[in-house]
Structure 1
Amino acid sequence: MPDSFTEQERDAVIEAFKNDKRLGMNFRHYAPIVEFWFLTGCRPSEAIGLKWEKVSDDCLIVTFDGSIQTVRGRQVWSDGSKNNKSRTIAVSSRVQELLQCIKPEIVNPSAYVFPSPKGLAINYPNFLDKVWHKVVDPIKPNTTPYNCRDTFITLQLVKSVPSAVIAKWCDTSTQMIDKNYADKLKLSQLRPMD
């Protein structure tokens, strides 16, 4: 069942990453990918595998056509999405600005948009255990980066974006959105029109 952050919790998580000051390895490095997860609704593995060649020069268009999965401790590239599709989306101005801020002056098209501190693909299980829980649990325990996707979908529904549009952005079905997100929202947040 989806478990989304509120907008306030989402913003608190993003700020916690941006302002992390722990000694040794602070986690500010991961703030861009966390913000990207929250603001695009992509699967965590899709952002981990995203390379600059899949981002338009003006950072307004992003193509998701694969992901990096961790299988038996090894990182494996998987073509297409979970649903074996490729999708190209226009991003919000906030995401465009985020991408422009982290885009290197000289872009290596095959470089990861959100690399690990060593320039490799982020190891998701390692990130989850050693980074995510340390930063996020004080704000909202028992979550994973996948809850960023839940948050994006939920907030778009609250803002009256049609589920068919959200489904295209997020590579899912309207039935999945209506069943798992909209029904829950109808009972808790949406109100009848006067």
Structure 2
Amino acid sequence: MASYTARKNKAGQIVSYQIKVSRGRDKLTGKQLTPYTMTYTPPEGWSKRAITRELQKVMGEFEAACNRGEILTKEEQKAHAQEKAEKAEHQKTEEQKKPTFNKYAELFIKEKAATLSATTIQSYKQALKRPAAVFGEMKLEDIDFLMVKQFITDLQTAKAENGKKPLAHGTIVTYYTTLHTLFESAVENGVIVQNPMQRMKKPKPRKDDIPRESLVYSESELAYIMECLNSEPLKWRAMVLFMIDSGCRRGEVAGLKWEEINFQTGKVTISRNAQYTKEKGVYISTPKNHKSREIIINAPVLQVLKEWRKQQALLYFSKGQTTGGYCFTQNEGEILNPNTITAYIRQFGKKYNLPGMHPHALRHTMATISIANGADVVSVSKKLGHCNPSVTLNIYSHANEEAQRRATEIFADVVYKNQKHA
């Protein structure tokens, strides 16, 4: 039940009332429990009757609130305040533990470095620079679908700056894929509940962004290239001829050793891939699909390789240098940097009026000419080192269509030839 005690000032005037509501006694000790209390201060100028009436009202409301469990004792208020402060501190600590985009990007790179090549890691780092400028210090869990969508849209709609061309569609797709992979990793690691890009479709090319077709040389252009090679140093002639005939990637050529070439059978084992990054320099890894493969090289190329092997041995033996058994090396005998191959082929293209020439053009040319002239896709796929023939089909569908057309014509010549004269 509620009761009150009047509080007076030094002059003996009542200035406030302390209202109490009993909490009864402790069931174990029998001691009186600390009552609920509150202070009611009446406005100045009120009559005694008005104050009494208002005091009774306040007492009734306070007692009702106590009975509903809405009022705390001073000890309970203190404990509640402490609990609230501890909860807030805990939430602050947990919030600080949640990684920002930049912080998780660091963890993501470290995680991927355990299973991916240094070159791929370098590509990831490069592709995360622009998103980091936008999302950097944001909590990863706060980045939502619309934010990422806006980022991709901005990439697509950005106008050329300082005379530079807008970002190519392939570059935008790289940003999209890298971000999607990062967020998916965060879901797997329990950092976020859902990938914000889960429902986001791969960006489409702009209307003015015409996809660049892979550079492929015709049979007559290839004959011209091979003629030009006769004027080049034997080392480069042998290397480019091998690339044309094998369709190997530049890193696979740089990592090739003489012991892997069987000059009697023409079989060559491709088991290494030389790569380069600024951090590691040139290093050896496995081929792109992590599998070795065996290919066959034609006799004319084997003959040029034989000539180069002899010249290489004499050249480096006279200098007292070693090549480590590699077929193609730098000038001092060390392993060849794949970028050196690219630089030479570009220079070769400029020299002989073959604009845009690059190592992959030779790979594309080998595959296209082979398939267009009837080679089966499975065999070409194995020679290229693709993980699946469907990859080859997707890349060289135009060549496969031409091969099918020729096969159809051959079939027609056999089956319908007599009917034409009937």
TM-score by length of 2: 0.40
User: Does the C-alpha gap of structure 1 residues 164 and 189 become closer, same or farther in structure 2, counting only changes over 3 Å?
Assistant: closer
Letter matched to residue 135 of structure 1: F
| Equivalences for residues 4-15 of structure 1 within 5 A | 4-15=216-227
Counterpart contact for 2:295–2:383, Cα < 8 Å: yes
Distance in structure 2 (CA, Å) of the matches to 1:72 and 1:158: 40
Pick the aligned partner of 2:365 from 146, 151, 155.
151
Letter matched to residue 72 of structure 1: K
1:28, distance to aligned residue in structure 2 (A): 4.9
The residue number in structure 2 matching 1:181 is 396
Distance in structure 2 (CA, Å) of the matches to 1:62 and 1:187: 29
SS of the equivalent of 2:274 reads strand
Letter matched to residue 254 of structure 2: I
Distance in structure 2 (CA, Å) of the matches to 1:12 and 1:37: 16
Larger C-alpha radius of gyration, 1 or 2?
A: 2
Distance in structure 2 (CA, Å) of the matches to 1:127 and 1:179: 27
1:139, distance to aligned residue in structure 2 (A): 3.2
Structure 1 position 82 matched with structure 2 position 82: no
The residue number in structure 2 matching 1:133 is 346
* Greater RCO, 1 or 2 (C-alpha within 8 Å, sep 6+): 1
Distance in structure 2 (CA, Å) of the matches to 1:59 and 1:15: 26
Any unmatched runs of 5+ in structure 2? 1-212, 315-321, 413-422
Aligned residues: 186
User: Does the C-alpha gap of structure 1 residues 46 and 183 become closer, same or farther in structure 2, counting only changes over 3 Å?
Assistant: same
Letter matched to residue 186 of structure 1: E
Letter matched to residue 46 of structure 1: E
**Percent identity for Structure 1 against Structure 2:** 21
Distance in structure 2 (CA, Å) of the matches to 1:18 and 1:119: 24
The residue number in structure 2 matching 1:52 is 258
Counterpart contact for 1:2–1:147, Cα < 8 Å: yes
1:144, distance to aligned residue in structure 2 (A): 0.9
Greater displacement, 170-179 / 55-64 = 55-64
The residue number in structure 2 matching 1:23 is none
Structure 1 position 115 matched with structure 2 position 115: no
Any unmatched runs of 5+ in structure 1? 21-26
- Tell me which stretches of 4 or more aligned residues in structure 1 moved more than 6 Å: 105-109
User: Does the C-alpha gap of structure 1 residues 170 and 116 become closer, same or farther in structure 2, counting only changes over 3 Å?
Assistant: same
Counterpart contact for 1:2–1:180, Cα < 8 Å: no
Distance in structure 1 (CA, Å) of the matches to 2:397 and 2:265: 30
User: Does the C-alpha gap of structure 1 residues 185 and 165 become closer, same or farther in structure 2, counting only changes over 3 Å?
Assistant: closer
Distance in structure 1 (CA, Å) of the matches to 2:258 and 2:402: 41
